[in-house]
Amino acid sequence: MQHMSTGERLLRGVLITLALIFFLFPIFWILLMSFQTNADILRIPPSLFFTPTLDNYVALITGELKTASGVLKLAFMQNLFNSFILSTASVALSLVLAVPAAYAFARYKFRFSEDIAFTLLSFKFAPPLLVLLPLTIYFQQIGLANTYIGLIWVYQLITLPLILWIVRGYFEDISPDIEHAYRIAGHSWAKMFFRISIPLARPGIAAAALLSFIFAWNNFVFALVLASADKQPVTVGALAFVTASGIQYGQIAAAVVISIAPTLALALFAQRYLVEGLSLGAVKG
Amino acid sequence: MSALDHSAAATATKAATPARRRRRRQRWLPYLLSLPALLVTVWIVIPFFTAIYYSMLRYRLSLPQLKGFVGLDNYLNFLTDGRFWYTVQVSLLYTVLTVVIELVLGLGIAILLQRSTRFNNLAAMLLLLPLMVAPALAALMWKLMTNPNFGVLSYLVGLAGLTDFRWASDPSTALFTVILVDVWVYTPFIMVLLLAGLRSLPKQPFEAAALDGVPKTFVFFRITLPMLMPYILTASLFRMLESIQQFDIVYAMTQGGPGNTLTVFQVESYLQFFQFTNVGRSAALLMVLWAITYFLSNVFVKNWLRLRERAQGVAAE
Amino acid sequence: MTTLELQNVTKRYGKETVLHGLDLAVADGETVAIFGPSGAGKTVLLRLIAGMAEPEEGEILMDGEDLIDVAPEDRSVGMAFQNFALFPHMSAFDNIAAPLDARRAKREAIADGVHAIARLLKIDHVLGHAPRALSNGQKQRTALARALVGAPKILLLDDPLRNVDAKLRFEMRLELPRLLEGFGSTVLYVTQDYREAMALGDRIAVLMDGRFIQVGTPEEIYLTPATVAVAELFGDPVINLFDARVEPSGGGSVAVVGSARLALSPGYANLYGTTVTLGIRPENVAPAGAGTAGAIAARVAALLPLNDRLVRLLVTDEGAEFYTSRDFGGETAGEGARVNVTAASQDVILFDKASRRRIAPEGEAAVIPAAPVGREHRAGRVSA
């Protein structure tokens, strides 16, 4: 490994470059498309050289697409808003619920503790439609169909187990003596929890929150089944947009760029914790 | 010193009340902390049992008057139903192909990037980006790139002589196309896990082998691969679990089409439910899928726990 | 006034019992050193007293009050952990201030308290540092300051000198008794170092395999160890042990070790004819004149420097090895030299060969069972 021949080094360089091209080209190309007019997009052969335009983004943001045949209404901003609401609220609720539970599972060996922890984990692995299809019927009956609250509730199945298992690992890493020392110094359990345990697990909590936000944001099937147009996030909305806008490919590309930008940005932020989070703590990054 | 009297008194009380007092809060605390999380998520068992019940009904939303309990008929019908076996076949094919391709590519890239140099780390970070793209949106991106009219990929394969390559719209290449998207999205997952695994391997065996002049292929197959096995196993089981359930990419790309080419489990159940409104059949299909994932997830959790314990151990050192 | 009492304290983890019915009464202002090998259950005992775990059986009484229903924060206990257990996200100042902060003390009062104790422990210049920026010695002092600052009724020190370097340990061993004296707390001091136990404890409780083997003053433990194991744990080099037969001789009794005959104190007549385990501490193996009756003839097998002393490994003609740390007068007893040694009758300790317990001579005042050494006693001791 230490000594590489020039040939081997060259081969490695070529292979890594090929991998980079394959995995980054689609993102790059869609980004280009989002700055092109329809005429540029439809030109054969495709070209890297064109006059960039912000029209696609303007149309998405104003919600109005002016075409020769008239003005077309676009609901994309609503989708974007929905994505933010659903993801943020789901993560916030999951944090409130899962962080104390993670602490309990990390610190105490109580009856059924492992069973409960694994039950929560198993929700992550079951086929989502198995639950979602009967749920459409129930949600109609109890009035949760097509509501933010109903969706946020269901989103807990994605965000909660993730946060629980990542944060649990971080709590386990805190020496119990440190917590005991604070109790002995005269502080109640609650004070200890908020002043010692939570601050010391903060990196893990932040990483879990970012990751679960990404997963919530990227979710497709939950909202596809349970939400109508006005509550749909970008993942579902963008697809509907394709059918609605017909051949407005520039706007589709711009919508995709806007939709994936937040998760890509967060991923770069949370880079350090991604590996650990993706493997639910099985691999330290 | 009154200690003696004291202990005598204490012994007397102890004999009178053998049951020990306990700090009550201490005992209830763990339940108090974990209960809210549980309450918000356990309702999932209700639709789950409903699904089991549905799977034993003749139940079409369009024909409510026919609704009735049929026991295991939905399952028994599967045995002789070509459409069901096609779903099994295409789902397994999809799973095996995606996991194998992603494993080979992911492992290859991880080995290329094994040394922790600045360039390698930057490349690893960039290669991770497709994993952060919502699979449904990834499908949309590839759809734009494979559009027969203007798609850049259609143009490129046209240059290579495949002028009538129709990607996802052609039954003969649809599976290939969705697998391509799956590989694009999920290879980074395997890559990043195996890279972390590779970098956490102890150095000594490799240094010893290098000193002894052991051939590199031998080192790879006899040292690297066996030591990496737990990571490979966990990563591929995880991927299998997701792949057999794949919905987002297939649905966003083709809605199960063209025709019925890509009716993998969840897509088929979705179509059965919403398109054919055949609730019973849809639920039975999902139960079959659930049985498969239940088995896989048990195997997965065992491996994952072993790895997780080791990771905690490493962190504690 | 704070007394601490353990009554039949038993702790189990699953099926394993780690503490077996411990009884101990600690007087107000007394320092009891809990001494024992690692794994004996010393730390577990401190945890029970601090309220971090609960005993399955038995009571822990503070000033006569049962602690079982008292939460850790209400026990008025100060504890210094072996691994320091500093709050890593707080400065040294905030670490030390934690007990005062818990009482909602005024900001100025907290600052005064922290600075006073920090000056006493010579860490006032590092109060702004985070724990990871402190040296091990400073960490240890910070942990100690945190335990002391609230003037707790009971002070639990869990081997506080274990993780500091030898020089600092030496200094602290001298410094700590004065410091503890000043605070007047009742102290339990856990240690694995018998010298520390003897230097710091008014009494020592020897804990082995979850049982108190012996509780007594350092002198009692050293001079009349309850078992062979206790004798072996106290003293360096380790106590010399021989098989010996007790026989009458003239008016008194002797112990026959090989060809040597060592005079015994009176009171062992009941042992005539039995074989016992005989213990002599290395510092009591004294050179004997050439003609001394019953002396042990031996050859110097090795010279081992130990701290400021020179220890000699001796081998008898029968091949038994033993140590002496007594001065033989320069080079006269170098390696290979032949020497005669003996021990005074009061320095010979006899143990039962089977039970390995000490055999007290008849007529010896019964060992006072674990009498607490109160504040008055100690004051006398210190001024003496």
CB within 8 Å: C27 and B1? yes
pLDDT given at position C309: 78
Sign of CA dihedral A133, A135, A141, A144: negative
pLDDT given at position A121: 79
SS3 (DSSP) at A12: helix
pTM reported for the whole predicted model: 0.84
pLDDT given at position C252: 84
Domain ranges, residue C244: 232-351
Asked whether the predicted pLDDT for residue B312 surpasses 80, the reply is no
CB pairs under 8 A between B and C: 32
Domain boundary among the residues C176, C193, C224 is at: C224
Residue B17's pLDDT band, with cuts at 50, 70 and 90, is very low
CA distance B10 to chain C (A): 8
Check CB contact of C50 with chain A, cutoff 8 Å: yes
CA angle C292, C298, C301 (to 5 degrees): 150
Task: Kindly state whether residues A53 and A88 are assigned to the same domain.
Answer: no
Pick from A1, A172, A279: which is nearest to B193 by CB?
A: A279
Chain B contacts of C28, Cβ < 8 Å? none
Residue A173: Cβ within 10 Å count: 14
Task: Kindly state whether residues C60 and C192 are assigned to the same domain.
Answer: yes
pLDDT given at position B160: 83
CA atoms within 13 A on the CB side of C366: 4
Which of C28-42, C198-212, C327-341 comes out lowest in average pLDDT?
C327-341
Span A108-127, average pLDDT: 81
Residue B189's pLDDT band, with cuts at 50, 70 and 90, is very high
Span B41-49, average pLDDT: 86
Asked whether the predicted pLDDT for residue C379 surpasses 80, the reply is no
Residue A120's pLDDT band, with cuts at 50, 70 and 90, is confident
Pick from C54, C56, C61: which is nearest to B6 by CB?
A: C61
pLDDT-above-90 percentage for chain C = 41
Residue C370's pLDDT band, with cuts at 50, 70 and 90, is very low
Classify residue C251: in a domain, yes or no: yes
Classify residue C321: in a domain, yes or no: yes
Measured CA to CA, the distance from residue C91 to residue B231 in angstroms comes to: 40
Asked whether the predicted pLDDT for residue B14 surpasses 50, the reply is no
Residue B156's pLDDT band, with cuts at 50, 70 and 90, is confident
Task: Kindly state whether residues A129 and A47 are assigned to the same domain.
Answer: no
- For the record, the structure tokens of C268 come out as 């062992």
What's the number of domains chain A is made of? 2
CATH of region B90-276+295-311 = 1.10.3720.10
CB within 8 Å: C3 and B7? no
* Interface predicted TM-score of the whole assembly (ipTM), two decimals: 0.90
Task: Kindly state whether residues A141 and A47 are assigned to the same domain.
Answer: no
Task: Kindly state whether residues A22 and A145 are assigned to the same domain.
Answer: no
Task: Kindly state whether residues A225 and A249 are assigned to the same domain.
Answer: yes
Domain boundary among the residues A73, A99, A114 is at: A73
Domain boundary among the residues C189, C207, C224 is at: C224
Residue B257's pLDDT band, with cuts at 50, 70 and 90, is confident
Asked whether the predicted pLDDT for residue C371 surpasses 60, the reply is no
Classify residue C376: in a domain, yes or no: no
Tell me the average pLDDT of chain C.
86
Span A151-162, average pLDDT: 93
Structure confidence by residue, pLDDT tens digits, B272-305: 998 888 888 999 999 999 999 988 888 888 888 8
Chain A contacts of B200, Cβ < 8 Å? 283-284
Span B47-66, average pLDDT: 86
CB within 8 Å: C87 and A196? yes
pLDDT-above-90 percentage for chain B = 37
Residue A201: Cβ within 10 Å count: 24
Structure confidence by residue, pLDDT tens digits, C179-217: 888 888 899 999 998 988 998 899 999 999 999 999 999
3-state secondary structure C105-142: CCHHHHHHHHHHHHHHCCCHHHCCCCHHHCCHHHHHHH
Task: Kindly state whether residues C281 and C211 are assigned to the same domain.
Answer: no
Asked whether the predicted pLDDT for residue A2 surpasses 80, the reply is no
CATH number of the domain that residue A247 is part of:
1.10.3720.10
Domain boundary among the residues A56, A73, A90 is at: A73
Structure confidence by residue, pLDDT tens digits, C57-99: 899 999 988 888 888 899 989 999 988 999 999 999 999 999 9
Residue B313's pLDDT band, with cuts at 50, 70 and 90, is low
Task: Kindly state whether residues A81 and A190 are assigned to the same domain.
Answer: yes
Classify residue A80: in a domain, yes or no: yes
Task: Kindly state whether residues A69 and A83 are assigned to the same domain.
Answer: no
Nearest to B249 by CA among B98, B80, B38: B98
- For the record, the structure tokens of C297 come out as 């003839």
Span A265-285, average pLDDT: 77
Task: Kindly state whether residues C83 and C112 are assigned to the same domain.
Answer: yes
Span B180-189, average pLDDT: 96
Asked whether the predicted pLDDT for residue C105 surpasses 60, the reply is yes
Chain A contacts of B194, Cβ < 8 Å? none
Classify residue C381: in a domain, yes or no: no
Asked whether the predicted pLDDT for residue B111 surpasses 60, the reply is yes
CB within 8 Å: C5 and B3? yes
CB within 8 Å: B7 and C5? yes
Structure confidence by residue, pLDDT tens digits, A144-156: 888 999 999 999 9
Task: Kindly state whether residues C215 and C330 are assigned to the same domain.
Answer: no
pLDDT-above-90 percentage for chain A = 51
Asked whether the predicted pLDDT for residue B9 surpasses 50, the reply is no
Span C295-306, average pLDDT: 86
pLDDT given at position C365: 63
Contact (CB, 8 A) for A52 and A36: yes
Chain C contacts of B20, Cβ < 8 Å? 56-57, 68
pLDDT given at position A14: 94
Pick from C83, C86, C103: which is nearest to A186 by CB?
A: C103
Domain ranges, residue A216: 76-278
Which of A137-146, A240-249, B69-78, C216-225 comes out lowest in average pLDDT?
A240-249
Task: Kindly state whether residues C270 and C343 are assigned to the same domain.
Answer: yes
Structure confidence by residue, pLDDT tens digits, A196-213: 999 999 988 998 999 999
Query: CA end-to-end span of chain C, whole Å?
Result: 24
CATH number of the domain that residue C153 is part of:
3.40.50.300
Tokens 């004819």 found at: C273
Pick from C86, C89, C102: which is nearest to A187 by CB?
A: C102
What's the number of domains chain C is made of? 2
* Contacts within 8 Å (CB) and 24+ apart, C116-125: C117/C145, C117/C148, C117/C149, C118/C92, C118/C93, C118/C145, C120/C145, C120/C179, C121/C145, C121/C179, C123/C92
Which chains have 3 or more CB–CB distances shorter than 8 Å to chain C?
A: A, B
CB within 8 Å: A181 and C146? yes
Task: Kindly state whether residues A180 and A123 are assigned to the same domain.
Answer: yes
Contact (CB, 8 A) for C202 and C373: yes
CATH number of the domain that residue C274 is part of:
2.40.50.140
Classify residue C369: in a domain, yes or no: no
Classify residue A247: in a domain, yes or no: yes
Which of A158-167, A203-212, C105-114, C161-170 comes out lowest in average pLDDT?
C161-170
pLDDT given at position B186: 95
Task: Kindly state whether residues C146 and C282 are assigned to the same domain.
Answer: no
Task: Kindly state whether residues C138 and C44 are assigned to the same domain.
Answer: yes
Residue B13's pLDDT band, with cuts at 50, 70 and 90, is very low
Span B84-99, average pLDDT: 94
Check CB contact of C106 with chain A, cutoff 8 Å: no
Phi then psi for B165, rounded to 5 degrees?
-85, 115
pLDDT given at position A275: 78
CA atoms within 13 A on the CB side of B50: 17
Q: How remote is the C-alpha of B154 from its chain's centroid?
A: 31
pLDDT given at position B3: 40
Domain boundary among the residues A23, A48, A73 is at: A73
Task: Kindly state whether residues A144 and A239 are assigned to the same domain.
Answer: yes
Tell me the average pLDDT of chain B.
85
Structure confidence by residue, pLDDT tens digits, C132-162: 999 988 998 999 999 999 889 999 999 888 8
Asked whether the predicted pLDDT for residue C369 surpasses 70, the reply is no
Asked whether the predicted pLDDT for residue A239 surpasses 90, the reply is no
pLDDT given at position B18: 39
pLDDT given at position C226: 93
Task: Kindly state whether residues A25 and A157 are assigned to the same domain.
Answer: no
Asked whether the predicted pLDDT for residue B94 surpasses 90, the reply is yes
Chain A contacts of B42, Cβ < 8 Å? 119
pLDDT given at position B310: 78
Tokens 């091949």 found at: C319
Amino acid at C139: K
Classify residue A283: in a domain, yes or no: no
Residue B252's pLDDT band, with cuts at 50, 70 and 90, is very high
Q: Where are chain B's structural domains?
A: 90-276+295-311
CB within 8 Å: C98 and A199? no
Domain boundary among the residues C190, C224, C258 is at: C224
CB within 8 Å: A187 and C88? no
pLDDT given at position B297: 87
Nearest to C153 by CA among B26, A186, A192: A186
Asked whether the predicted pLDDT for residue C380 surpasses 50, the reply is no
